[in-house]
Structure 1
Amino acid sequence: MATETQIAIVQETWAGITASIDNKTVGTILFKHLFKTTPAATAIFPFAEAYNGGRHTAEDMYASPRFLSHAVKVVSAVNLAVTYLKDLPTLVPILQSLGQKHVAYGVVTEHYDLVGGALIATLVDALGEKWTVDVKEAWLAIWGLLRSTMDPDAN
């Protein structure tokens, strides 16, 4: 369980990131990390179909409206979660619903770990020297909460 201090750290660092980097860019960085560490993950996403077939480059995919729309949705979901960290009665049903939708897309427990790793790598990039041990521990605690709430197999 995350502490009040960890929640404050996550909310403060996320606010700093989103104030200086737009959602499209944050989402693109996140997916670049995801696909760099796990290229096979592209098979899960409809926006990557042309990329998977070799008809377009990765940069074409990252510039496509379908990709950018999804990237913004992911960052918006993180934003929503960070905003409601102190209001779990509101946040938990939202995350559970989001998790159920992802089951229909073929998302399994292991995928949450991959996305969590990509999110952490994105935070490291965005925060630079502000990425400290305390910040890392706070984000890992919050990601654990978000992951276990979204993943129906974790409950």
Structure 2
Amino acid sequence: MMMQPHHAALIRHSFDQIAPVADEAAALFYRRLFEQSPELRPLFIGDVRQQGRRLMEMIGAAVRLLDHPAALLPVLAQLGARHAGYGVEPDDYRKVGRALIATLAEALGEGFDDATREA
């Protein structure tokens, strides 16, 4: 299914707001994730700051490919396969999604309206 153009625009706009403070946003994300789902902490080995940078780079790459699902979907499938090898379970993605939404809501404030949340 192709993403609606207005959703892609909202996602790009919200990422543009977060990108200048990517390190802080990533730190907030991991803080939220580990507060909401402490059982996921053992899945993260190594420097969380470095993982945060990789997270923001991956999100940025995905945002750039929103209009090109043929290029984006294989990248996401490969990422999912790699994470399965780390022990990530399907329900963990929902937990990560909740932490990401909470991070965006906090970081964007009033800019994170219902339309942006839906996108």
Higher RCO (C-alpha 8 Å, min separation 6): 2
Which segments of 5 or more consecutive residues in structure 2 lack a partner in the other structure? none
Residue matched to 1:116: 97
Q: Deviations over 1:103-144 (max 9, x none)?
A: 110011011001111110110011101111111111xxxxxx
Matches within 5 A, 1:2-151: 2-19=3-20, 21=21, 23-47=22-46, 66-138=47-119
Letter paired with 2:10: I
CA distance in 2, matches of 1:9, 1:67: 28
The CA deviation at 1:16 is 1.6
| Aligned-pair Cα RMSD in Å | 1.1
Letter paired with 2:6: T
CA distance in 1, matches of 2:9, 2:57: 19
Task: Give every structure 1 segment of 4 or more consecutive aligned residues whose post-TM-superposition deviation is greater than 2 Å.
Answer: none
TM-score between the two structures when normalised by the length of structure 2: 0.93
Q: Deviations over 1:69-100 (max 9, x none)?
A: 11111111111111110011111111111111
CA distance in 2, matches of 1:75, 1:26: 9
Count of paired positions: 118
TM-score between the two structures when normalised by the length of structure 1: 0.73
SS in 2 for 1:46: coil
CA distance in 1, matches of 2:62, 2:117: 17
CA distance in 1, matches of 2:82, 2:53: 17
Which segments of 5 or more consecutive residues in structure 1 lack a partner in the other structure? 48-65, 139-155
Larger Rg computed on CA atoms:
1
CA distance in 1, matches of 2:112, 2:45: 33
CA distance in 2, matches of 1:118, 1:132: 17
